[in-house]
Amino acid sequence: MSDLSLTHSGPIGAREESLRARALQARARPSPYGPDLDLTTFAQPVEHQRQRVEALRSLEQQVREAALLAGIDSEEVGRAASYFQVDYSAIYERIQRRYQGQLELMTTAEALKTYDWLRDYWWQAVAVDQDKYTAAVELAQTGGFFLRVFVGQRVKEAIQACLLVQENNISQNVHNVIIIEEGADAQLITGCTLHPRVETGLHIGVTEVFLKKGATLSETMIHNWAEGFHVRPRTGVIVEEGATFVSNYILLRPVRSVQAYPRVFLRGARARAQFNSIMVGLKESLIDMGTYVELTGQGTRADAISRAVARDRSTMYLRGELVGQHNESRGHLDCRGMLLSEHARMHAIPELLADLAPRSQLSHEAAVGPIAEETVEYLMTRGLPRDVAISTLVRGFMQIDLPGLPEILTKHIQRVLAATAEHSL
């Protein structure tokens, strides 16, 4: 097992006090993006340990179905390890026997007790005082998982982590830390989901990811919320030399508001990042999603593809910012939105910054518009009725490669996309 201590250690107590002080100062600080939320309207976290389970299949059916919609398989077929949290409590962690010794998966609370050096990573990829949401996680954390894949291990099956909210109107404030050690390779499915009886509430998810030299992480995050629910993920990813971060994000259900702008730092030479997002705005959803990447190392590369479909009275912001800080860096944003309703709004905001690196190659293509009538009629000339032509086009529009996904999950996503397309009329 490697020593993961970083160099900036100081007395643990002093660092904790400093983080707390910064969080206290930021606890009223709104985010520059998305609607501001009054956090006092959500029930305050209380100590309440939910009953742990021996197997995910023993969970009630509604919970298993909600988890499945977020890509979490309660039978754990084709899964290397599982973490399951309900409201504030972890109720299950398991590493399949064949993967013992390749990885660790536990609550962050337990990990902090086990490893002093974890304090060196705590709030290093995300700023504790970024806004009131990060501050809330520091001041009133309610769970979160720690995943560590050991040096050189190639975990062939996906690791799954489910964060489920079961009580109405609570604020689930999780802090996750993921460390993929040198030369290791893993796929992670993070499913964020609700019990069907939950109508409102808030999920704040801080996730700090550290990819060591030559490591690879494919993360697929599936969000499955409800019309009255708010979501504020806060993600930071530090990518070292020759490491690769792949992120697939899927949102196909209504939400009251979700605002996220993950920050990825390609620090090492030849570090790479790839983002694929599929989002559907339904009902009154306000979706404000972006990707920020700093290309600092030599030969770094970032590609971000997003496909968004706005229906009903939804509002969608599609953001992206690439910051080239090395002359030998390249990045591209590909952002396309389709509007299927007179009452929907979509705002694409791609930004490129060559930051004292004039030979950094940054580009973007952004398009927002309806389905072209010409294309609908083209399909109709092949005998497709108008409604089938439209749903075929919507489905095709959302069809992007999602690398690193288990086949069963790919099929599930395809089924949901097909159903979404059929209802797109």
Partner 1 sequence: MDTSDILQLDEVSIEVGGRPILHDVSLRIRPGETHVLFGPNGSGKSSLLMAIMGLSRYRVTKGRILFQGQDVTHLPVDERARLGIGLMQQRPPSVRGIPLGQLAEVSAQGKNGTRVAELADQLGCTGLLTRDVNVGFSGGEIKKAELLQLMAQQPALALVDEPDAGVDLDSIAVVGQALACLVKQPSAGAVAPAALIITHTGHILNYLRADVGHVLYGGTLVGEGEGLQLLEEIRKHGYGKCPICRSHIPVQ
Residues near partner 1, by CB under 8 A: 372-375, 377-386, 389, 392-393, 395-399
Q: What is the closest distance, in whole angstroms, from the C-beta atom of residue 131 to partner 1 in the complex? A: 36
Q: Is 22 helix (H, G, I), strand (E, B) or coil?
A: helix
DSSP one-letter code for 52: P
Task: Please report, as a single letter, which amino acid is at residue 139.
Answer: L
> In whole angstroms, how close is the CB of 248 to partner 1 at the nearest point?
17
- In whole angstroms, what is the distance from residue 260 CA to residue 233 CA? 5
CA distance 60 to 295: 45
Q: Give the nearest distance from C-beta 377 to partner 1 in angstroms.
A: 5
Q: Which residues of 327-359 are buried (b: 16+ CB within 10 A; e: fewer)?
A: ebbbbbbbbbbbbbbeebebebebebebeebee
Nearer to partner 1, 75 or 377 (CB): 377
Ramachandran area for residue 249 (φ above 0: left; ψ -120 to 50: alpha; else beta):
beta
CA–CA separation, 194 and 201 (whole Å): 10
**Residue type for position 10:** G
Give least dist CB 391 to partner 1, A.
Answer: 12
By beta-carbon proximity to partner 1, the closer residue of 269 and 368 is 368
When the beta carbons of 101 and 385 are compared against partner 1, the nearer one is: 385
8 A C-beta contact, residue 47 and residue 126: no
Minimum distance, C-beta of residue 418 to partner 1, in the bound complex (Å) = 12
SS3 148: strand
Q: For partner 1, give the closer residue by CB, 4 or 384.
A: 384
**Residue whose CB is less far from partner 1, 32 or 383:** 383
Furthest-apart CA pair in the chain: how many Å?
A: 72
Q: How far is the CB of 338 from partner 1 (least distance, A)?
A: 10
Residue 3 or 374 with smaller CB distance to partner 1: 374
